[in-house]
Chain A
Amino acid sequence: MIGFLLLLFGLKWLKNAIQRYSGLKFLHDEEAIYAANIAQARARGEPVKTGLAPFGVLLSYKSVLLEGLEVAFIVLSFGGSGANGIGLAALGAAAAGLLVIGVGALVQAPLQRIPENTLKFLVGIMLTTFGTFWSGESFGITWPFSDLFLLLLAALYLVASALLITAIKRRKPRVALATTTSQASILSQEKEVRS
C-alpha cells in the first residue's frame, strides 16, 4: 500500500515536471502571472488594491492545505515502512518543517532563485524510486545490491525522464516555442499597458 501510494504521487509529480520541461505545460513563473493579472486589471480600468483580499487569502490557504496534506501522506507512507517508523517520520517531518521555515526566513532571496520545476522533478524521481523499491519488497522481490539499488533506480528514472523530455521536444518542437511565446506576450502586454 505504501509503495502503491508513493508510486501514484511520484508518477504524478514526475509527469508534471516532464511536461513543464518539454514545453507541454507552462513553467510556473509566479511573478509573470502576477504581473499579467495586474496588467489586465489596469487595462480594464480596475483599481489595483495592495492590501489583503479575503478571497485571495482563502484561496491561497486552500492550495497550501492541499499541498500540505499531500506531504503529510508522503510522511505517513515513509513512516509506515518500518518499526517505530511513524514516530521517526513525524519527528523528521517536524524537524524538516522547522528547518525549512528557519532557512526560508534567513535566506529568502537566494531561495527564490531555485527553479521550482527542478525541485518538483527531483521529488518526483525520489518518490517513484522509493515507491518502486518498496512495492517490489512487498511482493518478495530481492533487489540486487540491497539498499544501494535505490541509487541505480533513481539514475534509471533520471535517464528515462531525460530521454522522454528530449523525445517530446523533438516531436513537438513548436510546443515549447508556443509556450515561450505566450510567456513573452504576457510580459509585452504588461509593457504596452504601462507605456
Chain B
Amino acid sequence: MNIILKIILAVYNFFVGDLVILLGVTLLMVVLALIHFLGALAPLRGGSGIILIVGVLATLVATLGREVMRPENKQKV
C-alpha cells in the first residue's frame, strides 16, 4: 500500500476508526454551521441545541445499528 495512504489510514484510525461517526458528526457540524451563518435559516437557530443533541444520538444509534447488522453478529443469533 502507498505510504501516504497508510499514513491517512493510521490518522483516521487514531481519531475515529468509524466512518458512520465521522460522517455523522461532520454532517451535524455542517448543518449547524449553515443554520448559524445563513440568514434564510435563522428561524431554526432556536432549535440548534435540540438538533445537535438529536444528531449526536442519531449518530450513536446509526453506528451501533451497523454493528448489530454485521454478518458476523447476525450469525450469532
Residues of A within 8 A of B (CB): 4-5, 7-9, 11-12, 14-15, 18-19, 24, 66, 69-70, 128, 131-132, 135-136, 139-141, 143, 153, 156-157, 160-161, 164, 168, 171-172, 174-175, 178
When the two chains form their complex, are residues B60 and A14 in contact, meaning their CB atoms are under 8 A apart? yes
Question: Can you list 27 A-B pairs with a CB-CB distance of less than 8 A?
Answer: A7-B25, A11-B60, A11-B63, A12-B16, A12-B17, A15-B18, A15-B60, A15-B63, A15-B67, A18-B60, A18-B64, A19-B64, A24-B67, A131-B56, A132-B53, A132-B56, A135-B32, A136-B48, A139-B48, A140-B45, A160-B57, A161-B60, A171-B68, A172-B68, A174-B76, A174-B77, A175-B76
Chain A contact surface mostly? helix
Residues of B within 8 A of A (CB): 14-18, 21-22, 24-25, 29, 32-33, 35-36, 45, 48-49, 52-53, 56-57, 59-61, 63-64, 67-68, 73, 76-77
Q: A7 — which chain B residues lie within 8 A by C-beta?
A: 25, 56
